[in-house]
């Protein structure tokens, strides 16, 4: 299960997550770890685009969180890959982990129970960050290689 922040312009228009430029890069990253969109669930904390594509407000996250929680309960993922600050902060709050920013905790595995399901949480940068920074793009690639190694070790790919 991959969780991002909120739909962007094209996501809102098409009603599907990660269909813009960041989504194309996410597809590449998924391919490199042996997955495609058909093998994983990709969603967002917010279910609609904030006005002027601004960052989500706390009350918007609170209002949309029950939908994400329901998706987690139904899917019962073995892994939750959080993409960026907002999804990581939300998931960390659900499992009582402190969060001070994605740059400090990305690329590490956290074994926790969320909504009655044992899960491995793997935070990384949002793919959109790679569109603006070569440093984040390189880090995302390294994080996904770390994830691939973990999945191969657990024989999930």
Show pLDDT as tens, one digit a residue, over the chain (157 residues): 999 999 988 888 898 999 989 999 999 999 999 999 999 999 999 999 888 888 999 999 999 999 999 999 999 999 999 999 999 999 999 999 999 999 999 999 999 999 999 999 999 999 999 999 999 999 999 999 999 999 998 877 6
**Which pLDDT belongs to residue 157?**
62
Name the residue ranges covered by the structural domains of the chain. Answer: 2-153
CB within 8 Å of 81: residues ≥ 6 apart = 1, 2, 3, 122, 123, 124, 147
* Alpha carbons 146 and 140: distance in angstroms, whole number: 10
**Which pLDDT belongs to residue 4?**
96
| Fold observed for domain 2-153 | Uracil-DNA Glycosylase, subunit E (3.40.470)
Q: Is 74 exposed, middle or buried (0-12, 13-18, 19+ CB in 10 A)?
A: exposed
């Amino acid at each position: 299960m991959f969780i991002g922040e909120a739909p962007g312009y094209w996501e809102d228009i098409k009603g599907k997550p990660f269909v813009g430029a960041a989504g194309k890069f996410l597809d590449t990253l998924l391919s490199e770890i042996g997955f495609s969109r058909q093998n994983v669930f990709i969603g967002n904390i917010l279910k609609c685009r904030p006005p002027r594509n601004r960052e989500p407000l706390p009350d918007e996250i609170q209002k949309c969180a029950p939908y994400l929680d329901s998706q987690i309960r139904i899917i019962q993922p073995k892994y939750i890959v959080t993409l960026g600050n907002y999804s990581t902060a939300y998931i960390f709050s659900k499992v009582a982990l402190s969060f001070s920013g994605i740059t400090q905790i990305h690329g590490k595995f956290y074994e926790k129970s969320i909504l009655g399901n044992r899960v491995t949480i793997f935070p990384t940068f949002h793919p959109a960050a790679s569109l603006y920074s070569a440093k984040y793009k390189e880090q995302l690639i390294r994080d996904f290689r770390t994830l691939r190694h973990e999945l191969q070790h657990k024989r999930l790919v």
